[in-house]
Amino acid sequence: MTAAVGDIMGLSVAAEEDDVAVTIRDVAAAAGVSLTTVSHALSNQGRIGQSTRERVLQVAAELGYTANVHAQQLVTNRSRTLAIQVAPFDPASESSMLIPNSEYFLELLNGASAEAGRSGYALVLTPPGVGPRAVTAFAVDGAIIVDPHGDEGLLDPSWTSSHPVVTAGRTATRRDDPHIVDNDHLAATTNALEHMWEQGFRRPAAIITDRARSYTRDVVDAYTAFAQTRGITARTVETGAGSAAGDALRMLLDSDDPPDAVYAGSEDIAMDVLQAANRSGIRVPTDLGLCSCVDSSTFNLTCPEITGVFCNPRTIGERAVALLIELVEGHEPAQRVVTVPTELRVRSSTLRHSA
């Protein structure tokens, strides 16, 4: 039989052990403090010393106390529900796809879900384009927007004035970004191009998606600066959101000064370039180096294996949720912008010489 017991500040517990529920009064008695102190410690509110808070939490854990989340919602006026939205890969598309076909986004969402669960929050995945009116129906406390364009409804001041927002990636069209979790794509691109240069590639080109996302703009800016520094011609082809990388590669190779390497702006572009090269008898990396600005586990299965920049998407998701929860709970985060490190995972597609 399960017993539910209500208590001060709306905190309660449901337990199934000999029909006895551990209550906030039990925690207070065991810790030798008042009911109010226990309530403040468990809800992370009020002014109590850190040592006292830690002692109460330890006693609560030892006794097997679990707070009633619904009761806490009534007291704090928070739903403990967060929204997360992945911006559409093609802003002009009417597709209702929730998640782009990319391992990066799946891993980011896995990280976000895990962090929300650890913190006692629920995570609601909303379709692209859904604005404040629809999201308000879920009574969410705040929102995360992944790879925003800047015109999302959840970035409208009418929403952000009352709901904290964190973006995973900067917006490409705004300067009043909310709190941000992102990679340093400028440094990551430069590092990847330097690696290819060390391997003897002297005419790299960049094949990118549309520039509606800030990371794509960072890739182009870093690539252009690298070309200027090295005194080479910058050649950038924008394919849009479609699978036109193969056509872009053929266009580049038919030019008077064909590239000897490609820096790809997505996993799909890297795969398309590799397939197009194989069909045309172009050897990778002997004739053409290939590196992706976003890594994928699929790159371990290709022939040759493809070099990619690992962006730690799971960590991005975790940090975005942690940052949003700080804001929801009324704390001022130590950092407004959180930068997650990247790692260049070197594989066969860029190894002309031994590392």
153 burial level (CB within 10 Å; 0-12, 13-18, 19+): middle
Model confidence at 93, pLDDT cuts 50, 70, 90, reads low
Mean pLDDT computed over 250-268: 93
Q: List C-alpha distances in Å: 202 to 52, 62, 70, 237.
A: 63, 63, 61, 18
Helix (H, G, I), strand (E, B) or coil at 333: coil
Helix runs in 18-64, H state only: 24-31, 35-43, 50-63
Higher pLDDT, 322 or 332: 322
DSSP 280-313: TT--TTTT-EEEESS--GGGGTSSSPPEEEE--H
Would you state the structure tokens that stand for residue 105, as one six-digit string? 């986004």
Check whether the bond before 304 is cis (ω within 30° of 0).
Answer: yes
Interval 298-330: pLDDT, tens: 999 999 999 999 999 999 999 999 999 999 988
Q: Looking only at Cα atoms, what is the longest distance across the chain? A: 83
Interval 207-235: pLDDT, tens: 998 788 899 999 999 999 999 999 999 99
User: Which helix (H) or strand (E) is 85 found in, with range?
Assistant: strand 81-86
Are 165 and 146 a contacting pair, CB within 8 Å?
no
Interval 135-165: pLDDT, tens: 877 789 999 999 998 888 888 888 888 899 9
Model confidence at 64, pLDDT cuts 50, 70, 90, reads confident
Residue located via tokens 């337990």: 15
Residue located via tokens 């000064």: 257
Report the DSSP pairing between strands 13-15 and 3-5: antiparallel
Q: List C-alpha distances in Å: 296 to 156, 266, 320.
A: 33, 10, 21
Mean pLDDT computed over 79-107: 76
How far is residue 196's CA from residue 262's CA, in Å, rounded to a whole number? 10
Would you state the structure tokens that stand for residue 115, as one six-digit string? 């962090």
